[in-house]
Structure 1
Amino acid sequence: MSCTPGDSDPKIMCRNIKRLHNFEPPATEEEIRASALQYVRKVSGMRKPSKANAEAFEQAVEAIYAITKELVLDQLETNSPPRDREVEAEQARARGRQRAAREG
């Protein structure tokens, strides 16, 4: 199963939260929010919270989003050149194909 920070399907629970720092172009607010959602899904064990937990779940997503945005976009510095999103995506697809070939 493929998963990217922009996936919005509530049935998808990714195994990994993707790196957002030091990319060209920089991470979008949508990508940061999707990663925050994935983090809260992962730590809570819920893909979609019940009505009783919906408000707390959404508050957690918003808190993680805010702190991630501040860290990723406003505070981190690096001397490394930005990573190219397309190159990274192709490398991830190649690793997926290799994994599938080993398993299949």
Structure 2
Amino acid sequence: MCRNIKNLYNFEPPATEEEIHASSLQFVRKLSGFNRPSRANEEAFNRAVEAVSRAARELIDSLTTTAPPRDREVEAEKARTRSALRFGRPADGTA
């Protein structure tokens, strides 16, 4: 799994279209092996990003849970702490 693709489900506030598009772009980049497609492949690449974005929005909108929505700031702090433990850097970003 691409580490740059973030979990977007069950957050308050809900995932924005920009967040879904960014995750979709990362997914298509990973699948295609292109960070930036050539002009010959650009149209197909962009169509794929839009199709994945639509599918992601449909999925997120149709999922249900009884769990309370997660707080973005709390989850971001957890991610910083995991990163600090993994890479041996301070969680506050100082070096």
State the TM-score bracket (shorter-chain normalisation): 0.7 to 0.9
Q: Give per-residue Cα distances to partners, 1:58-83, cap 9 Å, x unaligned.
A: 000000000101111x2111000001
Aligned residue number for residue 4 of structure 1: none
Secondary structure at the aligned position of 1:26 is classed as coil
List alignment gaps of at least 5 residues for structure 2. Answer: 90-95
In 2, Cα distance between equivalents of 1:28 and 1:94: 25
Runs of 4+ with >2 A deviation: none
Aligned residue number for residue 53 of structure 1: 41
Secondary structure at the aligned position of 1:39 is classed as helix
State the Cα RMSD in Å.
1.3
In 1, Cα distance between equivalents of 2:84 and 2:62: 35
If you compute each CA radius of gyration, which structure gives the higher value, 1 or 2? 2
Q: Give per-residue Cα distances to partners, 1:16-68, cap 9 Å, x unaligned.
A: 41111100110001000001001001111111101111000000000000010
Aligned-pair CA distance for 1:101: 1.2
Secondary structure at the aligned position of 2:88 is classed as helix
Aligned residue number for residue 75 of structure 1: 62
In 2, Cα distance between equivalents of 1:98 and 1:19: 20
Aligned residue number for residue 71 of structure 2: 84
Q: Please, what TM-score do these two structures have when normalized by structure 1? A: 0.80
Aligned residue number for residue 5 of structure 1: none
Aligned length: 88
Q: Please, what TM-score do these two structures have when normalized by structure 2? A: 0.87
Letter in 1 for 2:86: R
